């Protein structure tokens, strides 16, 4: 079986449905992954770019973006380079309403054993249960 890293533009086409040919190709690729015909790998920048583009360009509401990210995370045949951090970030984002990117940063901080986070965004990171560094 072939293993491919999937770029955000494929996922953007899949969710935005703004180019019929590319949308169909993206859907077929994800279907092939779900059926075990190809193994796809995805990393954090792809998810961030997908979320940002859906929000900024296509004006997709945050809840729908989170649902899209969750559906990708659950897709058979799509592996994440940092699945445990992505899973924790998705859960935290759903529970707190904090954007996925900040929830991912918080999950990464926890995974890295950090005592606190150096940020100017104390409100959101406080909602995620992180101590804020005094700097």
Residue pLDDT, tens place only, 60-89? 999 999 999 999 999 999 999 999 999 999
User: Quick one: 77 and 88 in the same domain?
Assistant: no
Residue 44 and residue 89 in contact, taking contact as beta carbons nearer than 8 Å: no
Residue 15: is it exposed, middle or buried by C-beta count within 10 angstroms (0-12/13-18/19+)?
buried
User: Quick one: 86 and 99 in the same domain?
Assistant: yes
Q: Tokens 């592996």 correspond to what residue?
A: 79
User: Quick one: 67 and 90 in the same domain?
Assistant: no
User: Quick one: 103 and 126 in the same domain?
Assistant: yes
Res 5: pLDDT: 97
Say if residue 111's pLDDT is above 90: yes
Number of separate domains in the chain: 2
pLDDT digits (tens, 9 = 90+) for 35-58: 999 999 999 999 999 999 999 999
User: Quick one: 9 and 73 in the same domain?
Assistant: yes
- Region at 97 (left for phi over 0; alpha for psi -120 to 50; beta for the rest): left
User: Quick one: 77 and 87 in the same domain?
Assistant: no
Report the alpha-carbon distance of residue 91 to residue 66 in Å, rounded. Answer: 10
Determine the average pLDDT of the residues in 109-122.
Answer: 93
**Final residue in a domain of this structure, among 66, 81, 96:** 81
Give me 113's structure tokens.
């054993």
Phi, psi for residue 33 in degrees, rounded to 5: -65, -45
Say if residue 10's pLDDT is above 90: yes
User: Quick one: 38 and 94 in the same domain?
Assistant: no
User: Quick one: 15 and 72 in the same domain?
Assistant: yes
Res 1: pLDDT: 86
pLDDT digits (tens, 9 = 90+) for 11-36: 999 999 999 999 999 999 999 999 99
12: helix, strand or coil: helix
User: Quick one: 10 and 66 in the same domain?
Assistant: yes
Enclosing domain of residue 73: 1-81
């Amino acid at each position: 079986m072939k293993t491919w890293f999937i770029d955000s533009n494929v996922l953007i086409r899949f969710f935005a449905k703004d180019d019929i040919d590319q949308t169909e190709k993206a859907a077929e690729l994800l279907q092939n992954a779900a059926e075990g015909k190809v193994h796809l790998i995805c990393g954090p920048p792809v998810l961030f770019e997908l979320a940002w583009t859906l929000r900024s360009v296509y004006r997709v509401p945050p809840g729908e973006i989170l649902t899209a990210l969750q559906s990708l995370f659950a897709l058979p045949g799509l592996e994440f380079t940092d699945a445990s951090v992505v899973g924790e970030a998705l859960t935290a984002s759903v529970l707190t309403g904090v954007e996925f990117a900040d929830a991912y940063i918080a999950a990464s901080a926890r995974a890295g054993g950090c005592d606190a986070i150096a940020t100017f965004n104390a409100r959101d990171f406080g909602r995620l249960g992180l101590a804020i560094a005094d700097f």
